């Protein structure tokens, strides 16, 4: 209840910040781009994790305004990277199902991309499987339109939800992000390792790129590389970091 009440004024009081976590393209051996991750620095509650407040923001519909702020900030950052000569980096943005259900969702996305004069290819939208449970037809149609114009669409936390394999082929997505629980368990559990390698081949057969999340060590990285995953994201490569640290990080790696 306290979180909900303080959340009401957090946006206008400028209490949110975006962190960015780099993703590494294994096949090209270069930085692919970054995922934007929201942070809430409340003067009274301290730093509140999105795991603690996104659900609450969804229940009160506050997520709509917060999500717009996140998307616009992500576009602003994408433009900044471009202006500084970093042309091929993509920015991935988490989108809540509540946002997708808004009637003006696609218009907002397209208007904002246009406002910052970005190419659609520089944006990846991340959705979770829960999106697909709600008002499926409407959401499918919106995502199909975005995908058709070149926006990348990732299915986040894959493997933890209710996806049936038959609908994977029908989904308007470009990318599968394998949930970090698979990556974590892979090293000590052969069944999980086999499952992970199977998910990667399946995804490739469906023409999807695969991102492994939560890669924390060399052993996990080597396995994903062996199974031909496209990208990794995780502490092994880089932690989420504030905007000002990203360019020095890219320069150091390149």
Among 129, 156, 179, 193, binds Mn ion (CB under 5 A): 156
Neighbouring CB atoms inside 10 A of 197's CB total 17
| Residue 201 CB, nearest approach to Na ion (Å) | 21
Residues of the shown chain interacting with ligand G in the complex, contacts defined by CB under 6 A: 21, 37-38, 49-51, 54, 70, 94, 96, 126, 156-157, 180, 213-216, 233-235, 240
Q: Which helix (H) or strand (E) holds 17?
A: strand 16-25
Q: Which is nearer to Na ion, 156 or 193 (CB)?
A: 156
Torsion of CA 155, 129, 74, 21, to 10 degrees: -60
Q: Which is nearer to Mn ion, 126 or 179 (CB)?
A: 126
How many residues make contact with Na ion (CB under 5 A)? 2
Bridge partners (DSSP) listed for residue 227: none
Give the 3-state secondary structure of residue 170: coil
Please check whether residue 130 is in contact with residue 152, taking contact to mean a CB–CB distance below 8 angstroms.
Answer: no
Piece of 40-48, 87-95, 153-161, 185-193 that binds Na ion (CB under 5 A): 153-161
Vertex 235, ends 126 and 92: CA angle to 5°? 20
175 binds Mn ion (CB under 5 A): no
Q: Which is nearer to ligand G, 68 or 89 (CB)?
A: 68
Piece of 16-24, 109-117, 121-129, 204-212 that binds Mn ion (CB under 5 A): 121-129
156 binds Na ion (CB under 5 A): yes
Please check whether residue 230 is in contact with residue 178, taking contact to mean a CB–CB distance below 8 angstroms.
Answer: no
Site residues, Mn ion (CB under 5 A): 94, 126, 156
């Amino acid at each position: 209840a306290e979180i909900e009440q303080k959340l009401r004024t957090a946006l206008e009081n400028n209490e949110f910040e975006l962190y960015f976590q780099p993703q590494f393209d294994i096949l090209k051996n270069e930085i692919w781009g970054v995922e934007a991750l929201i942070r809430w620095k409340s003067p009274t509650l301290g730093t509140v994790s999105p795991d603690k407040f996104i659900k609450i923001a969804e229940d009160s519909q506050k997520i709509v305004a917060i999500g717009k702020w996140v998307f616009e900030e992500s576009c602003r950052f994408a433009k900044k990277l471009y202006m500084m000569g970093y042309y091929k980096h993509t920015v991935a943005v988490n989108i809540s199902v509540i946002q997708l259900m808004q009637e003006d969702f696609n218009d907002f996305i397209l208007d904002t991309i246009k406002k910052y004069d970005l190419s659609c290819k520089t944006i990846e939208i991340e959705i979770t499987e829960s999106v697909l449970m709600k008002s499926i037809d409407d959401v499918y149609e919106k995502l199909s339109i975005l995908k058709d114009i070149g926006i990348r669409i990732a299915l986040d936390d894959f493997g933890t939800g209710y996806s049936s394999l038959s609908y994977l082929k029908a989904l308007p997505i470009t990318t599968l992000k394998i949930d970090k629980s698979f990556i974590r368990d892979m090293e000590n559990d052969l069944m999980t390792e086999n499952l992970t390698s199977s998910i990667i081949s399946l995804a490739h057969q469906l023409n999807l790129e695969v991102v492994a999340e939560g890669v924390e060590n060399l052993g996990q990285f080597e396995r994903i590389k062996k199974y031909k995953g496209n990208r990794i994201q995780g502490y092994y490569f880089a932690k989420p970091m504030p905007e000002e640290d990203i360019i020095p990080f890219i320069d150091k790696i390149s």
